[in-house]
Chain A
Amino acid sequence: GAGVSQSPSNKVTEKGKDVELRCDPISGHTALYWYRQSLGQGLEFLIYFQGNSAPDKSGLPSDRFSAERTGGSVSTLTIQRTQQEDSAVYLCASSLMSGVLNYGYTFGSGTRLTVV
C-alpha cells in the first residue's frame, strides 16, 4: 500500500483480556518498528525487526508483550492479560533499511488501546 496501515484504529478491552494489534508496512520496507505513546508521554520504543535478523526486543515492558513479523511483512503485537497501564496509542513504523535515515521512518496512524 501507499503507507503504513494499522488495525484496528481503536480498541477497547477489559482488563485481563489479550489483544492483537496489526501493522502492514510499506511494501519493500525491510525494517519495522513498534512504539507506544502513553497519555502525556513521548514515544516509547518497544521492538524492531530488520530483515531476517533477530528482533531487538529491548523495549518490551514485560513478558506479557510479544511481537512477530511473518514473511518479512505484516507484524502483530500481542499483549496478554492487559492491564490499565497498557492503555496508550501503539504506533508502527517502517523504513527501507535501518541504516538509512535521510528521510526517517514512515509511521502509521496508530491503534488507540483503552483497557477498562
Chain B
Amino acid sequence: DQQVKQNSPSLSVQEGRISILNCDYTNSMFDYFLWYKKYPAEGPTFLISISSIKDKNEDGRFTVFLNKSAKHLSLHIVPSQPGDSAVYFCAARYNQGGKLIFGQGTELSVKP
C-alpha cells in the first residue's frame, strides 16, 4: 500500500525553465510534508518542508505547494539549474508520529 506516490519516475527540463515535481498521498492523517534531494552515492538531503496548515512555502528558488483537498503537493524549482539534477523524494509524516513515509522518487535532469 503506497501511501505517498510520485508517479513520474523521471523529468527532463531545460536550464532556466521551471521544474515541477508532483506527489500524491492517501492518508489524511499526514501533518507535515518534506522534499529531499539525493545525488548518486550520497544520502538524501533535506530541501524544503510544509505544514499541513499551510498551502505554500517558499525558499529561494524552491517553492512547495500543498492542496489538501486533492491530497497533492508539488515542488517548483525556478529557474532550474544543471546542479539541480538529482532524484527528488517527497515524504510525509503521520500526525506527531515521527517517522516519514517516502515516495518512490523522481529523477530530475536539467539540461544546459
Contacts and interface: CB of A to CB of B under 8 A. Distances in A.
A4 B98 contact: no
B49 interface: yes
Interface string A99-110: 101111111111
B43 A107 contact: yes
Nearest to B46: A104
A50 interface: yes
A4 B97 CA distance: 22
Contacts of A109: 41-43
Q: Which of B34, B44, B91 has the most CB of A within 10 A?
A: B44
Interface stretch (A13-21, A35-43, A64-72, A80-88): A35-43
Q: Which of B34, B43, B102 has the most CB of A within 10 A?
A: B43
Given A41-B104, A42-B103, A98-B98, A103 B46 contact: yes
Given A42-B89, A104-B34, A107-B44, A99 B98 contact: yes
B96 interface: yes
Interface string B34-49: 1010000111111001
A73 B98 CA distance: 18
A41 B87 CA distance: 11
Nearest to A46: B99
A106 B99 CA distance: 13
B27 to A, nearest CB: 14
B100 interface: yes
A101 B105 CA distance: 20
Contacts of B20: none
Nearest to B34: A104
Nearest to B9: A40
